Amino acid sequence: MTTIGLAGLLAASGALVVTAAPASAGVTRYVLPISVSYTDARQPTVAFPTTDADVPVGTWQADGVKHTSRAYFTFDLTPYRGKEVIFAQVVTGESSVADCTKPRELELWRTDTPAAPPTWNTAPAVREKVGDVGPTAPCPAGYLELGVTDVFRQAVADGRDSLTLMARIAGDHEGNKHFGRRMEKPGVSLQANGAPDVPGKLSVSGRACADGLLVGTTTPVLTVEVTDPDRLEPYAGDQVRATFAWWPVDRPAERTEWTSSAWYAPATIPYTVPGGLLVDGGTYAFAVRAADERAASAWSPECRFTVDTVRPPAPTVASADYPADPGFPGHGGPGIAGDFTFTSAADDVAGFWYGRSGLTTYAAAGPGGTATVSYAPERYGPDWLNVQAVDRTGNRSAQTRYEFWVRNTAPTVTDGNPDGWLGQPREVTFAPNMTDVVEYVWSLNDGTERTVAADAAGAATVTVTPTVVDNTLHVRSRTRDGVLSGDAGYTFSVRTAPFVTSGDWPFDGTPGAPAGTEGSFTFAPAMADVTEYVYAFDRGDERTVRAGADGSATVSYTPADAGYHTIEVFSRTSAGVESDPIGLAFYPASVAPTVASEAYPRNMTGGGPGVPGTFTFAPHPSVTGVTSYVYQFRDEPERTVAANADGTASVEWTPSAYDNTYGGWVELRVRARTAAGVTTDAQYYSFRVDPQSPLVTSDVFGWQGGAVVGQTGEFVFTAQLPGTTEFVYSFDDGAEVTVAAGAAGTARVSWAADSPYGHSLTVRSRTAAGIVSGPTYYSIFIDPS
């Protein structure tokens, strides 16, 4: 505060400190005087009330004339009635000083409060000296202070509405102009505390305190609102604690008290009564008082409540409109309201919660503990209501599920042209499922709702013209009494995809004409003005064919292979409108030739590198006039062989080496050709060439270890390929090395281990004609040293 000028304080709104620290109470305000005036001995009958920032005190001179003044400051004490003044301090300053070489002789005195601004002659009675203001402070002083706690505390205790302080220069110095000065208008930094207000808004388990209050739990939550007069807006006030006291009404001596932690007022403070203390049927009372760090309120009026934890029994439900019969055909109908009566055997039932999905609606109980509600089902078929009784305490019963069946009242819709195209009108007939139907309300999709009268039989016919593929025709019948049925919601789709037929290949999954046979597909429109079709086989390139005058078209196709094939087609109009596509599958039958070989049997291992094999081709029993066969061994060129008079043919094939790429497996593809130029689908014949890999042994090295780095040992290669003259080998996928085979078809190779852990040896045998066997892979493990 010593660094803040008084002018800044006076510019404030009057509040210095917003709230006290948690260990104290009350708020501190900067209180300004409600009236300021001074007197002048030179003009003893004139009062000088002022709003200026400073006032003269002591002797001063103006225009050669000497004046002597005293200043009076009156403060309003009404905001502090009934409060405890904790601290009060006058804060002022000097705007000018006549002579700073003279000591400051500024005094404050308490006087009676004048009814009007005083004159020198009508000065109020002086009661006591309050103190000397800043006798040792530097001169001039921008900030001066003087404690006035006792003066303000006594004035409030005496019940006075105001307090007046007079400022003057002490004794004989008052007439000496060297001691005069101008004093800034003072304020008082005043901290006071009032007791918290009597707590209010008592409630039990969320229910406001009232006569006959009932609660459905033995551990209710008691709540109370606490407020405190010591508050500076918009900030919170004091920290306040609430003390709850509760007791059985018939045993007040069994009083229990509990005090909460501190809450900033205003606050709603809860207290949960511990379990095991309250009993069903017991009546209890509670009251609350509030306290800050310095004062406590009076106890609140007591709040009484009775504990009722007995749940009512589940209610019964009855309805003449919708009997409890969950079977077809049911009663009523969608949108037709029915009455449902709920009954509870409890003598204190207050009402019922009910609903189809969740208990969402409340109905108060009438005399006899019953309630009748109206409910209109939204759809036909099985329906239900869940019902729960509630007593006056709020206790809820178990749920009753009432099940019933809602009759389908929607009219029957008959489409007179179910295969109609887009834009083609179709007559639709409505037949009633209610009695005394006089008209129908209908609309197509989101179109305008229309009405058509029913005939004597209750039926009606309308014409609709669909313009989109997917449609919903909404139809409801209305009786003479104005009762509406449910919505038929007749949905239908208009086909735009073309119709595809074929006399050669059925679309039912059975095989059709053999592969290699030319056949045809016919496209027929499902739209008007179709000028062409776009089609593709087996998801291949799209092709286009012009439609004839009748909108149809036929295309030919020769499948090269048997089995699964597809065709996809859509139509297009002259305006470029495209239909939905249609995709169909068909299956050409297989007439592939048969293949046989003794040396290389199907799906088995046989022969070997350099071993010739004969493959015999024979035609399918349904194929005649075979003149040749087109065949191909994997990765070799396609070749042709002429057929014998009986339609068979044979070819010889000799592998020059074992093909390790496919693990020795070879695929042979064969097609038969007839004199008529028909080429059948292919026969796929697979077999595996025996690798005839050499045997590899060693007394020193093996996959299980036992040898060490630097150890030398031999490997023995033994040929399995007839006519082997040499072996080709490599260690660890390194450079290949050749070693000659002996007369017995064996060879020995010496090797020294140069590093520990895993090593590999790959060996093939080779004949003088260059025939190569399959590889043998030999694993070696060298123990670490």
- Per residue in 658-684, pLDDT (tens digit) is 999 999 999 999 999 999 888 999 999
**Which CATH code of 2.40.50, 2.60.120, 3.30.420, 2.60.40 fits the domain covering 6-193?**
2.60.120
Tokens standing for 617?
């081709």
pLDDT at 235: 63
pLDDT at 281: 94
Which of the two residues, 325 and 2, has the higher pLDDT score? 325
Tokens standing for 35?
């009236």
Mean pLDDT of 200-215: 95
pLDDT at 133: 97
Residue-wise pLDDT for 708-719, tens only, equals 999 999 999 999
pLDDT at 233: 65
Distance of alpha carbon 262 from alpha carbon 242, whole angstroms: 8
pLDDT at 18: 36
- For 329, list phi and psi in degrees, rounded to 5: -90, -10
| DSSP 8-state symbol, 242 | E
Mean pLDDT of 146-165: 96
Distance of alpha carbon 327 from alpha carbon 324, whole angstroms: 9
Residue spans of the domains in the chain: they are 6-193, 200-307, 316-406, 412-493, 499-589, 594-689, 695-783
Return the H-helix or E-strand segment holding 536.
strand 530-537
Nearby residues of 413 by Cβ (< 8 Å), 6 or more positions away: 428, 429, 430, 473, 475, 488, 490
Mean pLDDT of 719-732: 97
pLDDT at 130: 97
Return the H-helix or E-strand segment holding 8.
helix 6-11
pLDDT band at 517 (very low <50, low <70, confident <90, very high): confident
Q: Are the C-beta atoms of 719 and 745 separated by less than 8 Å? A: yes
Question: Is-same-fold flag (200-307; 412-493)?
Answer: yes
Tokens standing for 489?
């919601």
Distance of alpha carbon 269 from alpha carbon 276, whole angstroms: 22
pLDDT above 90 for 340: yes
* Full-model pTM: 0.53
Residue-wise pLDDT for 531-581, tens only, equals 999 999 999 999 999 999 999 999 999 998 889 999 999 999 999 999 999
Distance of alpha carbon 26 from alpha carbon 380, whole angstroms: 70
Residue-wise pLDDT for 191-207, tens only, equals 999 999 999 999 999 99
pLDDT at 280: 95
Residue-wise pLDDT for 359-383, tens only, equals 999 999 998 999 999 999 999 999 9
- In CATH terms, the fold of domain 316-406 is Immunoglobulin-like (2.60.40)
> Percentage of the chain surpassing pLDDT 70?
96
pLDDT above 80 for 588: yes
Q: Are the C-beta atoms of 162 and 75 separated by less than 8 Å? A: yes
* Half-sphere CA count of 436, side-chain side, radius 13 A: 6
Cα torsion 619, 621, 623, 626: sign: positive
Residue-wise pLDDT for 608-649, tens only, equals 999 999 999 999 999 999 999 999 999 899 999 999 999 999
pLDDT at 19: 38
Distance of alpha carbon 539 from alpha carbon 537, whole angstroms: 5
Strand order in the sheet with 605-606: 605-606, 683-689, 665-674, 626-633, 639-642
Distance of alpha carbon 140 from alpha carbon 136, whole angstroms: 11
Residue-wise pLDDT for 307-326, tens only, equals 999 999 999 999 999 999 87
Q: Tell me: domain 200-307, CATH 3.20.20.70, correct?
A: no
pLDDT band at 9 (very low <50, low <70, confident <90, very high): very low
Of 591, 593, 590, nearest to 650 (Cα)?
A: 593
Q: Per residue, what are the HEC states of 26-45?
A: CEEEEECCCEEEEEECCCCC
pLDDT at 669: 97
pLDDT at 16: 39
Distance of alpha carbon 39 from alpha carbon 49, whole angstroms: 9
| DSSP 8-state symbol, 153 | H
- For 275, list phi and psi in degrees, rounded to 5: -70, 155
| Three-class DSSP category at 179 | helix
Tokens standing for 19?
């709230």
Tell me what the pLDDT averaged over the chain comes to: 93
Q: Tell me: domain 499-589, CATH 2.60.40.10, correct?
A: yes
Mean pLDDT of 415-443: 94
pLDDT at 24: 57
Mean pLDDT of 2-28: 44
Residue-wise pLDDT for 479-490, tens only, equals 999 999 999 999
Of 121, 123, 115, 117, nearest to 49 (Cα)?
A: 117
pLDDT above 70 for 2: no
The DSSP annotation for 48-93 comes to EE--SSEEEEEEEEETTEEEEEEEEEEEE-GGGTTPEEEEEEEEE-
Return the H-helix or E-strand segment holding 443.
strand 437-444
* Half-sphere CA count of 664, side-chain side, radius 13 A: 20
pLDDT at 561: 87
Mean pLDDT of 91-107: 96
pLDDT band at 27 (very low <50, low <70, confident <90, very high): confident
| Three-class DSSP category at 658 | coil
Task: Work out the angle at residue 674's Cα, subtended by the Cα atoms of residues 671 and 680, and round it to the nearest 5 degrees.
Answer: 35
Return the H-helix or E-strand segment holding 290.
strand 283-291
Q: Are the C-beta atoms of 557 and 568 separated by less than 8 Å? A: no
Distance of alpha carbon 323 from alpha carbon 732, whole angstroms: 89
pLDDT above 70 for 705: yes
pLDDT at 327: 81
Q: Per residue, what are the HEC states of 155-172?
A: HHHCCCCEEEEEEEECHH
- Residue 243's alpha-carbon distances to 13, 54, 134, 300, in angstroms, are 36, 50, 46, 10
Q: What is the CATH number of domain 594-689?
A: 2.60.40.10
pLDDT above 60 for 8: no
Query: Residue 546 class from Cβ within 10 Å (0-12 exposed, 13-18 middle, 19+ buried)?
Result: exposed
Beta bridge partners of 289: 243
| DSSP 8-state symbol, 303 | E
- For 11, list phi and psi in degrees, rounded to 5: -75, -15
Say what the alpha-carbon torsion angle 452, 454, 458, 459 is, to the nearest 10 degrees: -60
Of 390, 413, 388, nearest to 402 (Cα)?
A: 388
pLDDT band at 234 (very low <50, low <70, confident <90, very high): low
Which amino acid appears at position 518 of this protein?
E
Tokens standing for 338?
């029915």
Residue-wise pLDDT for 108-145, tens only, equals 999 999 999 999 999 999 999 999 999 999 999 999 99
Q: Are the C-beta atoms of 279 and 310 separated by less than 8 Å? A: no
Distance of alpha carbon 184 from alpha carbon 92, whole angstroms: 6
Radius of gyration for the alpha carbons in the chain, expressed in angstroms and rounded? 56
| Three-class DSSP category at 13 | coil
Q: Are the C-beta atoms of 411 and 489 separated by less than 8 Å? A: no
pLDDT band at 21 (very low <50, low <70, confident <90, very high): very low
Domain 695-783, CATH class in plain words: mainly beta
Tokens standing for 276?
């095991």
Taken as a whole, the chain contains a residue count of 785
Which of the two residues, 25 and 430, has the higher pLDDT score? 430
Q: How many C-beta atoms surround the C-beta of residue 175 within 10 A?
A: 14
**Which CATH code of 3.40.50.2000, 3.20.20.80, 3.40.1170.10, 2.60.40.10 fits the domain covering 412-493?**
2.60.40.10
Of 316, 433, 324, 318, nearest to 382 (Cα)?
A: 324
- For 190, list phi and psi in degrees, rounded to 5: -125, 125
